Amino acid sequence: MPLVLASSSVYRQELLQRIQIPFTAASPNIDETAHEDETPIQLVQRLAVAKARALQTQFPEHFIIGSDQVAVCTGQIFGKPGTVEAAVKQLQHCSGRAVTFYTGLALLNSATDELHALTEPYTVYFRDLNEAQIRRYIQKEQPLNCAGSFKSEGLGITLFRRMKGDDPNSLIGLPLIRLVELLERFGVEIP
Is 167 a known active-site residue? no
User: Among the options 31, 68, 128, 166, which is catalytic?
Assistant: 68
Give the H/E segment covering residue 65: strand 63-73
Q: How far apart are CA 144 and CA 188, in angstroms?
A: 35
Q: How far apart are CA 118 and CA 148, in angstroms?
A: 21
Which of 68, 63, 33, 65 has the alpha carbon at shortest distance from 52? Answer: 65
**Parallel, antiparallel, or unpaired: how do β-strands 160-165 and 76-78 relate?**
unpaired
Q: Rounded to the nearest 5°, which phi and psi values hold at 14?
A: -65, -40
Q: How far apart are CA 87 and CA 149, in angstroms?
A: 5
Catalytic residues: 68
